[in-house]
Amino acid sequence: MRYAAPETVDEAVALLASAEGGAYPLAGGTDLVVQMSSGMRAPALVVDIKRIGDLGRIVSDASGIRIGAAVCGAEITGNAEIASKWPGFAEAMDYIGSMQIQSRATPAGNLCNASPAADCVPGMVAAGATVTVAGPGGRREIPVEEVPAGPGRTTLAPGEFVISVNLPPKPARTGDAYVRFTPRTEMDIAVVGVGVCLTLDEGGTCTAARVAVGAVAPTVLLVREAGAALVGTPVDDAAMDAAAEAVRAACRPIDDKRGSAAYRTRISGTIFKRAAGVALARARA
């Protein structure tokens, strides 16, 4: 196996595009190194992206907040602007692993590892985040929900990699939240994880809502029907019930040791209501 640590995006793209056999970007390594140690992945080339200067920065301007692909979880949860504008995204990141894992793990790595149970992904999808991807054909920006293709697979083309996660400017009276359910309280993988972001008008009527659900399908789901059930309502019990039903209807989970498909489907509505309640309180505040 070859290891390379380029200092520019172009150099990284050239390395990834020209490699024969599997070539993998390496960010925090909290998934990739574990997979290599267990023999699950055997890359011909690993391209460490942490020496690419711009990828280690968080930049905020009128177009939103750009989080470089090498920025780790601890830097995100410790960032006052992200914590105040997008607390749901920050709390999704904060669920990942322990303090040690947080000091390495990145949201881009969580997304590109493409686990259906990835905690950060519903938080990003609910917030309407995009990623900027660099590759042999140049750069492009795509919604986060278009990156995972199935367990362990992404839609990225050979030679492409994520250079930033982009959070949009936050509209007024908007709140986001992420809630996950696990059998244990610490260091476990989601049985269900739900991200919700909603916007209210001055009278308290919902004008926009995004609901994203993890661990209930091969990829994280953006459940548009659940968002639609909230829009135009005061987010009262009837709207919550209708949205929870839409969440349950969208679930296509598997049975595994953490929960049966029926159990995951049933609790997805409950976890949705908890996340939506927090997002609503934040939007009202």
Ligand X SMILES: Cc1cc2nc3c(=O)[nH]c(=O)nc-3n(C[C@H](O)[C@H](O)[C@H](O)COP(=O)(O)OP(=O)(O)OC[C@H]3O[C@@H](n4cnc5c(N)ncnc54)[C@H](O)[C@@H]3O)c2cc1C
Query: Binding to ligand X by residue 42, rule CB under 6 A?
Result: no
Show the binding pattern over residues 187-216: x = contacts ligand X (CB under 6 A), - = does not.
x-----------------------------
Number of residues binding to ligand X, judged by CB under 6 A: 29
CB 130 within 8 A of CB 162: no
Query: Binding to ligand X by residue 6, rule CB under 6 A?
Result: no
Which residues make Cβ contacts (< 8 Å) with residue 7, sequence separation at least 6?
51, 52, 53
Show the binding pattern over residues 170-189: x = contacts ligand X (CB under 6 A), - = does not.
-----------------x--
Among 19, 129, 162, 198, binds ligand X (CB under 6 A): 162
The DSSP symbol for 259 reads: B
**Rounded to whole angstroms, how far apart are CA atoms 192 and 181?**
5
The footprint of ligand X on residues 44-73 (CB under 6 A) is 49, 69
To ligand X, the closest distance from the beta carbon of 213 in angstroms equals 14
- Comparing CB distances to ligand X, the nearer of 26 and 235 is 26
3-state secondary structure 179-200: EEECCCCCCCCCCEEEEEEEEE
Query: Binding to ligand X by residue 26, rule CB under 6 A?
Result: yes
CA-nearest of 219, 217, 168, 220 to 197 is: 168
Supply the angle between the helices 87-94 and 261-284 in degrees, to the nearest 10: 140
To ligand X, the closest distance from the beta carbon of 103 in angstroms equals 10
To ligand X, the closest distance from the beta carbon of 225 in angstroms equals 25
The label of the residue with tokens 């936050």 reads 170
Query: Binding to ligand X by residue 105, rule CB under 6 A?
Result: yes
Per-residue exposure over 11-34, b if at least 16 CB sit within 10 Å of its own CB, e if not: ebbebbeebeeebbbbbbbbbbee
**Rounded to whole angstroms, how far apart are CA atoms 244 and 10?**
45
To ligand X, the closest distance from the beta carbon of 170 in angstroms equals 23
- Comparing CB distances to ligand X, the nearer of 110 and 130 is 110
- Comparing CB distances to ligand X, the nearer of 189 and 222 is 189
Show the binding pattern over residues 126-145: x = contacts ligand X (CB under 6 A), - = does not.
--------------------
Among 32, 65, 220, 222, binds ligand X (CB under 6 A): 32
The DSSP symbol for 159 reads: T
Which residues make Cβ contacts (< 8 Å) with residue 67, sequence separation at least 6?
58, 76, 82, 107, 164, 165, 166, 167
Can you give the binding site for ligand X, defined by CB under 6 A?
24-32, 34, 49, 69, 95-97, 101, 104-106, 108-110, 112-113, 118-119, 161-162, 187
